[in-house]
Structure 1
Amino acid sequence: MKKILFVCCAFSCSFFAAAQGWPDTVAHIEKIFSRYNSHTVPGAELAISRNGQVIFSKAWGMADLEHNIALTPQSLVEAGSVSKQFTAASILLLEQQGKLSLEDDVRKYIPELPDYGKVITLRHMMQHTSGLKDWGSVMDLAGWSRGTRVYSNEYALYVISLQQTLNNIPGDEYIYSNSNYNLQAIIVQRVSGLSLADFTSKYIFEPAGMKHTEWRSNFRKVVKDRAIAYSKGGGQNFLINMPNENAYGNGGLLTTAEDLLIWNHYYLSGKLGNPSLLPKQTATNKLNSGRTNNYAAGLMLDSIAGWQAISHSGATASYRANLEYFPEAGLSIAWLSNTSAFDSDTLNVSNAVRRLFLPVRPAAPRPRPAAVTVAPEKLAAYAGWYRDPRNNAGLKLYVKDGKLSSLFPTANLMAIADNVFMLGNNKLELGYKKGLLASAGPESIYYEKMEDVDANPKYLEDFVGQYYSKEAEAMYYMVLKDGRLLLQIKPTTTFPMNATYKDAFDCTFGPVYFIRDLKRGIMELRISVGRARNVVFKRVYTEAP
């Protein structure tokens, strides 16, 4: 049977957004989750605690549509990247046991990685500042996205070891990459002699009392009470969309909302490690520039709706998850779902539930400099394409209605001086070394101004050919058809290539930049996605069949 548990006296009405009574709050929760309240729809679990005491727990919807099995608070749902905090906690326990240090070079434990000329520490990996490319993103570029092959941590390591470059100098940027956590899972096994699954069972799950939690380290294993994950099909139909892979540590935790509350209370009350590892779990470090990085040990420390928060969300295949803790209110909220069908819904259930307990605190207004008028001839001189040196993405500026606007992203710029403009919270100094200098806080990036092109068929012919990547172990075919350049991944995938600045394009994946030799012509292309920059494809043939 589905369970609802609440303790009225455990929660003060002063935390309710509208000073409502507890029955009203429960009614609001039921309304928020009404979309799951059906025997024909996958479901969700919600559990809420205050100061370690569960005040609400319930499940809605179905765990298995084929066999008509309802979701219950004891149903195991995969928690996606919420899993990362358990991998990080394992590394911290090993450090406390004297078996490693967060300042160690990762190559001490994983010598298969290339020497990039810069030390990547375990701390860099834990806080996503290592620069290691996300192996799943590289496989996307190869046409083998996660779910199309049975990936393992060993295969993830193989892909990571093929990468010739990093996304960034270690410590320079925060770029989320699952590679960091698959490698940490491997390190746990190599250092402790136990798999991550066995290590966490012994040192975390059992001591904490998490009786309904385990890892999906073997996706073929029969798991009692596991909910099936579903995506939306055509009409009212659903499609099974499971993470059929053995890669874990980055994700892969099978758990319940109630067990996640047990975990929150366990580590937040200082019970993990002796002495408590809580200070290390929540410790953040600044980037090389001095800018704050809010990502700690698999935990995001930031403000949500004006409240201090420790949180993480998760998504793997069609499983969805969110775990939040608000120290000012002693409030934990855990949400799990076995469907991605409502990803585009305007109602975000986590936000809606949170607002029932924590009123939104308006942010203090940021002082904004006054706008100025810039002469039309100056605006015209600033128009054109600019290249982001990190990933070769193009930023186009153009004049519209007497104002400077941008394409990629589409926005209007506000002039605060003759050569200084605001693009959101970024300050652009135009004309800087004939390009522009983009600044956000202590960081500045120089964008080179690039040459515009007429992407006619004769120009596009230069790029036709076959390109092979050792990093992705994949072949791209650039073909010209009906006056358009197309990227093909055989047998069935084709993307249009949209010209930006000279030798650069944008496609479904992201920006593509071709490297040209003055004598030999186009030699290679570099393609970037959010978590994997500048994956190299070398030209092997000048024609594509």
Structure 2
Amino acid sequence: MKNRKLARVLSALMLTGAMGMAAAQVPADGGTASLEAALAQGLRPSVLKAGEPLPRWSLQARMAHYKVPGVAVAVLRNGEVIYAAGFGVREAGTTDAVDADTLFSVGSVSKVVAAATSLQLVAQGRIDLDRDVNTYMTSWRIPAAPGIRNPTVTMRMLLSHTSGLTVHGFEDYLPGEKLPTLVQTLDGKPPAKNDPIRLEREPGTESDYSGGGVMVEQQVIEDVTGTSLVEAARAQVFDRIGMRRSTFENPLPARRGNVAKAHDKEGRLTALPRGWQAFPEQAASGLWTSANELGAFVGALIKSYQGRGDFLSRDMAIRMMTEVSPGARGLGPELSGAGTTRRFFHNGDNDSYHAGFEGYLDSGDGFVILTNGKNSKGLRGEIRNALSDALGHGVKPLIRTVALDPGASDPADYAGTYRLDAGVPMDLRGELADRFEFDALEVKRTDGYFTVGPVGEPDESSPLLPLTPVRFLASRYDVELRFHRDAHGIVRALSVETPTARAYYRRQATPPVSLDAGGADPVRKGGGR
């Protein structure tokens, strides 16, 4: 671990619960003093309501709040890990400290490492991104799908989640549970816990996150190389970067040592007697890695993209970091931003572990976050905010809502039913076709406040936090709603927006419009213009 002395200083600050001012930006010379402040006093939420003071939380305090025993982080500057450290313990109730080499399960972050394995095979001419993957597989094939036009699935589609294949994610397996083979997973046969992985729409027409598609990718890798993913990833990725402890082996053998154990929402050890679950869907969610080594992987991708590394060719790295329409993902990672804020990232969530990484392609900065508690998803976000603030790119600044008068007449008529306009091209709807796939929305007003959710499913509603009189944050879905009030004062539609996608919903049964007495301007019945 680099900067071991700094890590000890930071740990001391953490143990004393130091508090203070917001973290400053990391100096351009790679100094790490502000990282001390970021983790010791700079954790924060993503959204604050009007009038709420900005908290300055310590990592120690938030770990206690979320009941998360252990955390590891790494920070990159110019494509190199300049800081890596562990905090807390691998197992609650012990003194087994987490360090930068502690192994954590990283959930769907696995998909990006699997993608890098595939892209190495593409670079070697062993896989073509745009060839039918059924032509590569000898152990299993995507079954015929009657009624689906153009059923050809390619590696480019598998990596970008545009394949049209089913199964979003997978369940964990406890010690003692029998693990399925890859073919059993693909066919959804016991002991696999998932449905069969099958085509449900024409490949290439819609963005739909599919862990099932990534398992097809794994089958391609194994059939092309004649080895397991464990061996293929070691040869194509881990050995090239120096990731000596990282592995797709499942269940992870205890002999590897220095493993962050799994904890439930109360911070208690779970998945006994071993202390961690197994993830037989290896390419989709089975990677075990450390802050040091995942940081090195992120750095290798950054340097390849910038043309100063040899892990991937620059051309291949650029392809990896280019959006595949109609989604917003590249060949493995999620992508966002432009210019100096251009970034690639991915989060991972298994039952007892939450992880994530982010890399800035222009500057070469980045970070890795690993945790070992069921409640740590919120903690991961707060750490992400602190590290992003410290790096100083302004990618995800604090969002402050505004106070609207509950009795104001303008927003009073937002309530109603809105139906998706399916005529909006899927290229624009993008990721929302997957994570916000509702055909009809209901906006309700209660005590002056609004909520939004799918029609007929009140338990799925999200509060709407006002950003302007017409823009609201639906925090549950991490999307923004924009109400469209026309020149006659009538709310006719709303848009659901993210930085990379937009869906359009038309209001049902909008207030009637009539002509005034002179037959001139249309007005709303019962009200003014």
Mapped to 1, the partners of 2:144 and 2:251 lie a distance apart of 28
Residue 346 of structure 1 deviates from its aligned partner by 9.8
Deviations 1:462-518 (A, max 9, x none): xxxxxxxxxxxxxxxxxxxxxxxxxxxxxxxxxxxxxxxxxxxxxxxxxxxxxxxxx
User: Cα RMSD over matched residues?
Assistant: 4.4
Kept in 1, the 8 Å contact 2:295–2:367? The answer is yes
Secondary structure of the 1:315 match is: strand
Structure 1 counterpart of 2:390, from 349, 352, 356: 356
Q: Equivalent residues in 2 for 1:277-288 (5 A)?
A: 277-287=316-326
Match of 2:90 in 1: 63
Structure 1 residue corresponding to 2:114, chosen from 77, 82, 87: 87
Q: How far apart, CA to CA, are the structure 2 residues paired with 1:320 and 1:64?
A: 16
Task: Find the counterpart in structure 2 of residue 507 from structure 1.
Answer: none
Query: SS at the partner of 2:337?
Result: strand
Calculate the TM-score normalised by the size of structure 2: 0.64
Q: Say whether the 8 Å CA contact 1:129–1:174 is kept in structure 2.
A: yes
Could you tell me which runs of 5 or more consecutive residues in structure 2 were left unpaired when the two chains were aligned. Answer: 8-22, 42-57, 189-193, 305-309, 400-408, 423-432, 455-460, 465-469, 471-482, 510-529
Q: Deviations over 1:392-428 (max 9, x none)?
A: 75434679999999653566844225676342447xx
CA distance in 1, matches of 2:372, 2:323: 32
Partner of 1:474: none
Q: What secondary structure, in the 3-state scheme, does the structure 2 residue paired with 1:322 have? A: strand
Instruction: Report the AA paired with residue 294 of structure 2.
Output: L
User: Which one of the candidate residues 334, 339, 342 is aligned to 1:308?
Assistant: 342
Q: How far does the alpha carbon of each residue in 1:344-392 deviate from its partner, in whole angstroms, 9 at most, with x for none?
A: 45961111121122152689x9xxxxxxx99x9xx89x96685898877
CA distance in 1, matches of 2:265, 2:387: 24
Determine the structure 2 residue equivalent to 1:326: 360
DSSP-derived class of the 2:39 partner: helix
Residue 154 of structure 1 deviates from its aligned partner by 2.5
Q: Say if 1:155 and 1:44 are closer, same or farther in 2 by CA, change over 3 A.
A: same
> For the structure 1 residues 22 and 205, does the alpha-carbon distance in structure 2 shift closer, same or farther, using more than 3 Å as the test?
closer
Query: Larger strand proportion, structure 1 or 2?
Result: 1
SS of residue matched to 1:104: coil
- Aligned AA (1:94): L
Q: Structure 2: which amino acid aligns with 1:91?
A: S
The counterpart of 1:415, out of the listed 485, 496, 508, is 485
1:395 maps to which residue?
A: 441
Corresponding residue of 1:465? none
Aligned partner letter, 1:28: A
Cα distance in 2 between the residues matched to 1:306 and 1:422 = 34
Q: CA deviation at 1:200?
A: 1.4
Against the structure 1 CA distance between its residues 22 and 358, is the aligned structure 2 distance closer, same or farther, given a 3 Å change threshold? same
Q: Give the deviation of 1:260 after TM superposition.
A: 1.5
Do structure 1's residue 190 and structure 2's residue 223 form an aligned pair?
yes
State the match for 1:510 in structure 2. Answer: none
Please name the residue that 1:452 is paired with: none
- Secondary structure at 1:277 match in 2: helix
Q: Which one-letter code corresponds to 1:30 in the other structure?
A: A
Q: Quote the sequence identity (%).
A: 20
**Counterpart of 1:157?**
186
Whether the 8 Å CA contact 2:68–2:263 is kept in 1: the answer is no
Residue of structure 1 in register with 2:131 after alignment: 104
* Closer/same/farther in 2, CA of residues 239 and 401 from structure 1, 3 Å limit: closer
Partner of 1:342: 376
Partner of 1:432: none
Structure 1 spans left out of the alignment, 5+ residues: 8-12, 138-144, 288-292, 366-372, 427-439, 450-545
Corresponding position: 1:78 with 2:112 = no
Greater RCO (CA < 8 Å, at least 6 residues apart): 2
3-state SS, counterpart of residue 285 of structure 2: coil
Kindly indicate whether residue 83 of structure 2 is the aligned counterpart of residue 44 of structure 1.
Answer: no
- Please give the secondary structure, in 1, of the residue aligned with 2:85: strand
Residues of 2 paired with 1:301 and 1:385: CA distance? 29
Q: Which stretch has the larger CA shift, 147-156 or 409-418?
A: 409-418
More helix by share: 2
Matched, 1:129 2:162: yes
Give the distance between the partners of 1:37 and 1:384, measured in 2 at CA: 41
Q: CA shift at 1:111, angstroms?
A: 1.9
Q: Distance in 2 between matches of 1:53 and 1:280?
A: 22
CA drift of 1:69 comes to 1.7
Q: Which moved more, 1:322-331 or 1:22-31?
A: 22-31
Q: Give 3-state SS (helix, strand or coil) of 1:250's partner.
A: helix
Tell me how far apart the structure 1 counterparts of residues 33 and 448 of structure 2 sit (CA, whole Å).
Answer: 56
Residue-by-residue CA offset, 1:89-114 (whole Å, 9 max, x unaligned): 12122222222211122332242433
Residue number among 260, 263, 267 corresponding to 2:301 in the alignment? 267
State the Cα distance separating 1:197 from its structure 2 match. Answer: 1.1
Matching residue of 1:224: 257
CA shift digits 1:118-172 (9 cap, x unpaired):
22222111100112111646xxxxxxx4436634432220128846651x43222
What is the aligned partner in structure 2 of residue 213 from structure 1? 246
Matches within 5 A, 1:444-455: none
Task: Give the residue type in structure 2 aligned to 1:282.
Answer: M
1:298 matched to 2:332: yes
CA–CA separation in structure 2 for the residues paired with 1:402 and 1:312: 37
Residue correspondences, number: 405
1:113 equivalent among 130, 137, 143: 143
In 2, the alpha carbon distance for the partners of 1:242 and 1:388 equals 45
**Quick one: distance in 1 between partners of 2:242 and 2:451?**
56
Residue of structure 2 equivalent to 1:147: 173
CA contact (8 A) 2:75 2:81 kept: yes
- Whether the aligned pair in 1 keeps the contact of 2:34 and 2:390 (CA below 8 Å) is no
- 2:237 paired residue number: 204
Return the alpha-carbon distance in structure 1 between the equivalents of residues 360 and 263 of structure 2. Answer: 31
